[in-house]
């Protein structure tokens, strides 16, 4: 009887730790499950960018690439990516070339992280994203590209990447990199991936 009481006490006191341990062990799977729920038709929402925002993004990426300044711009689509983001400064401002350039210039305290776009709003800057764990990534791709691949593996977000080393613009979607884009190719690629509203209003 004493053995059963001891066993019961151990099990009752260990259950909380066991639950916590399972959450830690299966964190990637839980993230994917949350992403799947967010992408399901029950929660589905139509996400689009207006053409003015796309033009601002293209101009920004082109200027940064010409100056060889690194940047990571995340466009949120159907999946809420807030639970993938650590740190980050709340911004909540209209997307503009000047704002993005001011964030990614080297002496900005936010330039090392990613910015998050939701529709016409830039919501966060200086965000740290999960890196992909894939081992087949080309050696030319560093941390910024691994972060872009990581977030687009886990969600349906689109990432615009500007390489500091090579001054090259890339887009990541679905965990894949579309490399070496000029301004026209970037605009065309975004148009193929994201619904673009031609009107000035979103």
pLDDT at 86: 77
Kindly give the confidence (pLDDT) of every residue in the chain, 202 residues in length, as a single tens digit, with 9 standing for 90 and above: 565 565 555 556 655 555 545 455 545 555 554 544 444 444 444 456 788 899 999 999 999 999 999 999 999 999 888 888 877 889 889 999 999 999 999 888 888 899 999 988 999 999 999 899 888 888 888 899 999 999 999 899 999 999 998 999 999 999 999 999 999 999 999 988 887 655 444 4
Q: What is the pTM of this model?
A: 0.75
pLDDT reported for residue 73: 97
Residue 187 is predicted with a pLDDT of 94
CATH class as words, domain 48-197: alpha beta
Question: Which pLDDT does position 171 carry in this prediction?
Answer: 96
Question: What percent of the residues of the chain are helix, what percent strand, and what percent coil, each to the nearest 5?
Answer: 45, 25, 30
- Name the residue ranges covered by the structural domains of the chain: 2-43, 48-197
pLDDT recorded at residue 44 = 44
Name which of 116, 114, 110, 166 is nearest 141 in CA terms.
Answer: 166
DSSP structure string for 131-187: PP--S-S-TT--HHHHHHHHHHHHSS-EEEEE-TTT--EEEEETTEEEEEE-HHHHH
Separation between Cα atoms, residue 167 and residue 94, nearest integer Å: 26
CA distance 164 to 26: 34
- pLDDT reported for residue 66: 95
């Amino acid at each position: 009887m004493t053995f059963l009481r001891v066993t019961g006490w151990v099990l009752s006191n260990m259950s909380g730790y066991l639950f916590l341990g399972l959450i830690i062990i299966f964190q990637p799977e839980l993230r994917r499950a949350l992403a799947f729920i967010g992408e399901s038709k029950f929660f589905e929402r139509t996400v689009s960018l207006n053409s003015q925002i796309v033009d601002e993004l293209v101009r920004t990426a082109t200027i940064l690439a010409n100056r060889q300044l690194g940047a990571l711009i995340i466009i949120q689509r159907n999946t809420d990516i807030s639970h993938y983001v650590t740190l980050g400064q709340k911004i909540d401002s209209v997307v503009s070339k000047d704002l993005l350039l001011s964030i990614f210039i080297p002496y900005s305290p936010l330039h090392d992280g990613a910015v998050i776009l939701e529709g016409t709003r830039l919501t966060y800057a200086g965000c740290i994203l999960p890196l992909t764990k894939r081992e087949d990534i080309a050696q030319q791709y560093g941390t910024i590209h691994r972060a872009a691949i990581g977030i687009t593996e886990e969600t349906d977000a689109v990432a615009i990447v500007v390489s500091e080393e090579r001054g090259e613009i890339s887009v990541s979607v679905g965990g894949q990199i579309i490399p070496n884009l000029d301004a026209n190719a970037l605009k065309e690629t975004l148009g193929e991936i994201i619904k673009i509203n031609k009107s000035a209003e979103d």
